[in-house]
Structures are given as structure tokens and as C-alpha cells.
Amino acid sequence: MASEECFNVLFLCSGNSARSIFAEAILNEEGRGRFRAWSAGSEPKGEVHPRALELLEKMSYPTAELRSKSWDEFAGGEAPEMDFVITVCDKAAREVCPVWPGQPMTAHWGVPDPVVVEGSATERHLAFVDAYRMLRNRIAVFVNLPIASLDRLSLKRRMDEIGLIGREDQAGGMKGDALTG
């Protein structure tokens, strides 16, 4: 890993408008001082989805610096060297990614896309809540990994296991009226 003090993490999604944005905001808050997160997309939408911003703001996350951007910003020589690159959508996981300097640890933490959910306003809102919850739960486990004491193979296995959290029960676990109201 490039740094024992602060690990750089890039979350990738195709549109970079909701799921990867959630992950960036959550990790920057929950991992403050130990992790620095960014997000990007292979085909960025150019703006963060309003429902994603609304939910993050309700949960008191800073949103002023969040923006939809291309993963090309992180493949060049001026980009920070990543320790971890995590895909959060199946489409981005199947795409040929740029070569990331420094050989970061990679993992896939697939999360259903809330942006494509159709139905009532409540159903669409709950899709965003579910995506947020799933990422929040996974990041809570990630920030507590004993990274310095794990060899690369064990760390990779743990990263892959984190990607399975919540797949069985996507509605499980977080308290907070702001999530459902």
C-alpha cells in the first residue's frame, strides 16, 4: 500500500451520479484521517442525481464538493495514487478500466442502481435508501479492517467478502428517520 497513514480509495460506477457518490461521501466521513475517497464513472452523467444529494444532505454529509466526473481524471500522472479501486456497479466491473498507477487493490461491491428504479415516489426514494444503506454497511466493515496486519492475499479476500454484505437482505440495518422519511 502506498501509505500507512491515509489510504486513497476510488469508487467507480458507470454514471457516477448516485452509488459511487454515496460511497465517496460515506468513506470520507467514516474514514476521516485514515482514508481519502473519490468517485468517478466510465460514462459520467455530468451531475449528481438530486435524490442522492438530498439523501446525503439529510444524513448530514458534506455535498458541496461532490461532482460527477470521468475516471480518466484518476488515470493520469497528476492523479493521486490509489491504494484501493472499488467498482459499485456491475457495468463498470465488466468494462476495461484504465491502468491505475501503483497497482491498487481492486474489489467489486455491486449495488443495484437506484437511478433506474421506476414506480411511485416512495419506491424511488427507497431504492436510494437501500443503495445508501448497503454501501454504508460495507464501508463500516472496510474502515475497521486491520489493513496493516493483513497480507495482500488476505486483504483481497476480505475486500471481496465485503462486496457480498447485504446481497441477501438489501433492506437490513440502518436506523434513522431521515432514511425512510
The Cα–Cα gap between 173 and 33 comes to: 26
Q: How many CB atoms lie within 10 A of CB 87?
A: 26
Q: How many CB atoms lie within 10 A of CB 69?
A: 16
As beta bridge partners, residue 39 has 11
Q: Give the CA distances from residue 42 to residues 53, 75, 78, 90, 138, in Å, rounded to whole numbers and listed in that order.
A: 20, 12, 19, 12, 22
**pLDDT tens-digit profile of 101-110?**
778 999 999 9
**pLDDT tens-digit profile of 27-38?**
999 999 999 999
- pTM of the entire predicted model: 0.87
Q: Which of 154, 148, 12 is nearest to 91 (CA)?
A: 12
For residue 75, what is its C-alpha cell?
488515470
Q: What one-letter code names the amino acid at 165?
A: I
Specify whether the CB–CB gap between 165 and 48 falls below 8 A.
no
What is the β-pairing status of strands 84-87 and 7-13? Answer: parallel
Q: What is the pLDDT of residue 55?
A: 97
Give 7-180's CATH code, choosing from 1.10.340.30, 2.60.40.10, 3.40.50.2300, 3.40.50.300.
3.40.50.2300
Q: Which sequence spans correspond to the domains of the chain? A: 7-180
Q: Is residue 75's pLDDT more than 90?
A: no
Q: Which of 110, 128, 142 is nearest to 171 (CA)?
A: 128
**pLDDT tens-digit profile of 80-139?**
999 999 999 876 556 666 777 778 999 999 999 999 999 999 999 999 999 999 999 999
